[in-house]
A and B are shown apart, each in its own frame.
Chain A
């Protein structure tokens, strides 16, 4: 029988993480399904389990200078309710599953699950989020782009825990999140789209676009984004066909039980096209 550890503090959690091949469990909403067993039997975890959700060190939401620090144990519901949460992330988080799941599931867990369909992940790519990874030997920061290497795969070492999701605070008067699913609640995304941009006096200062569930990891292209920087809104709208073409080459979805490759690609590009063509209406005063 596998053991379950409930460490008294983060220090003990990190020690256990290093000494045992344990499975870190915060909200558990993905893991309890992944290792689901017969009714009445405990889930079939592949190793010892490390409970994390009770750790006070992981429960904080704070603004540190120009960075928002979202503790790895904070439930999605609290992130959605935090006034500092960027609109694009709030929208993504509010669309994850249903209230009972958002009361326990965490954003760090969404990232570690590393599903290309993870709604929170898509928004975090467009926000240039980083992960704070901690082990007994210290702390390092990794961009979400470098953290997730494939479906379900991350660079998290066996002695490390994600202790926070770090989101840079920056001016962004364009923040859009769109999720396409079969129903509003409890549906995993067929595809998702996030846009974070800043327009100053009619000129695009910066633009970040990300597409979820259309490839093995979330799709982002800083090269194409640079083509939009420094342009007027009208110029970007005029560039729309060529920008759509750029992404058409990058978006290579698959068929699965939720959708088909053709549907995903068509709808992703249509969302992009409608976003670029209606850019003017997307700009909000902050």
Chain B
């Protein structure tokens, strides 16, 4: 259990270490992927969100041993795709980024939503980001950014 493989942003990787370490710390410290942020450290803020087998999780609540043999996609992985770029650009255009600390989590939440539901309603968008806190924007710009991303990426989702 102290050495296992998993897929990280499409690449097979090996982790050696304590399986109880938080996935968040493993991403940031062992793999140098600092896109996921630690906000609250207790699953309340969504700044550390990533996809585990395509489903959004808070990486501060996932012991890394749980991801053995599974697929982790971080904000870095999402940003490298056309869909990710659509979301990032749409958020920037909408003025949805101020301090930027919540943005990686918001992009992950948006990608998680749009992959399963390419034409979400406003209610569905708000539900999808309900676990992601933003202290700057008041959320409206983020919601319109995600709606714009849905339109922008219409053919690729």
Contacts and interface: CB of A to CB of B under 8 A. Distances in A.
Interface of A: 1-6, 25, 28-29, 32-33, 36, 39-43, 45, 49, 51, 53-54, 75, 77, 97-101, 103-104, 184-186
Contacts of B20: 2, 4, 42-43, 45, 49
Interface of B: 1, 18-22, 25, 29, 38, 41-44, 46, 49, 52, 55-58, 60-63, 65-66, 68, 109, 112, 127-128, 130-132
Contact of A6 (B29, B57, B58, B68): B68
Given A4-B63, A33-B61, 8 more contacts: A32-B42, A41-B21, A98-B46, A99-B112, A99-B131, A103-B56, A104-B61, A186-B130
A32 B1 contact: no
B142 to A, nearest CB: 14
A98 B130 contact: yes
Given A43-B20, A101-B61, A184 B66 contact: no
Contacts of B58: 29, 100-101
B41 A39 contact: yes
Nearest to B65: A4
B126 to A, nearest CB: 9
B63 A28 contact: yes
A2 B58 CA distance: 23
Contacts of B56: 99-100, 103
B65 A100 contact: no
9 contacts: A4-B18, A6-B65, A42-B63, A51-B66, A54-B66, A97-B43, A100-B46, A100-B49, A101-B131
B131 A36 contact: no
A5 B18 contact: no
Judged by DSSP, the binding face of A is loop
A185 B99 CA distance: 22
Contacts of B41: 36, 39
Contacts of A3: 1
Given A33-B42, A97-B43, A42 B61 contact: no
Contacts of B44: 186
A77 to B, nearest CB: 7
Contact of B22 (A2, A42, A45, A99): A42
Given A5-B1, A6-B68, A99-B128, A28 B21 contact: no
A103 B65 CA distance: 17
A97 B20 CA distance: 23
Contacts of B55: 75, 77, 103-104
Contact of A104 (B29, B46, B57, B68): B57
Contact of A184 (B25, B42, B68, B130): B130
A72 B49 CA distance: 24
B131 A100 contact: yes
B28 to A, nearest CB: 8
B19 A185 contact: no
Contact of B29 (A40, A49, A77, A185): A40
**10 tightest Cβ-Cβ pairs between the two chains A and B:** A98-B131, A185-B130, A42-B20, A103-B55, A4-B19, A33-B42, A32-B61, A100-B56, A42-B21, A100-B58
Given A36-B41, A99-B112, A53 B66 contact: yes
Contacts of A100: 43, 46, 49, 56-58, 109, 131
Nearest to B133: A186
A155 B75 CA distance: 42
Nearest to A103: B55
B63 A25 contact: yes
Contacts of A25: 63
A253 to B, nearest CB: 24
Contacts of A40: 25, 29
Contacts of B61: 28-29, 32-33, 101, 104
Contacts of B25: 39-41
Nearest to B64: A42
B63 A32 contact: yes
